[in-house]
Amino acid sequence: MYTQLSKCPVCGEDLTVTRLHCRNCDTAVEGHFRQATGLFSQLSQEQQNFILAFVRCEGRFTRLEEELNLSYPTLRNRLNDVIQSLGFEPRKEETPERLSPDKRSEILDELAQGNITPAEAQRLLRGEAAA
């Protein structure tokens, strides 16, 4: 199959798509169609709408959750779907190791006794090493 031309090989003017054909079922549609160009043209309309909302919310998932009324995991899955559709591989999120209930209690007891600062307790509860 040949690459779709966008300019006339004779005069150099823009070409207009006037016929679309499905190789699977042999359906043809004729008319005047605007050519889809650019990296995002390969995304579905739903994916394009997601990207617009993502940009409008400045990439902040909390705002995106409110605007689209979707949970963080659903939004994350949609973003990963867009990333894959564009030919990239989404990075695996590094999840911190879960603290046992006993370890959490120990940290909170240390905080209550004044042995560690609130900032230090937050770091430890997130599973980060002590500073």
**Does residue 54 sit in the same domain as residue 74?**
yes
**Full-model pTM:** 0.50
Is position 68 within any domain?
Answer: yes
Which pLDDT band, with edges at 50, 70 and 90, does 127 fall under?
Answer: confident
* Residues 124/107, Cβ–Cβ less than 8 Å: yes
Is position 11 within any domain?
Answer: no
User: Which residue range is the domain that position 125 belongs to?
Assistant: 95-131
**Does residue 100 sit in the same domain as residue 66?**
no
pLDDT in the model for residue 42: 80
Is position 15 within any domain?
Answer: no
Which pLDDT band, with edges at 50, 70 and 90, does 48 fall under?
Answer: very high
Is position 1 within any domain?
Answer: no
Domain count, the chain: 2
Q: How far is residue 49's CA from residue 13's CA, in Å, rounded to a whole number? A: 31
Amino acid at 34: R
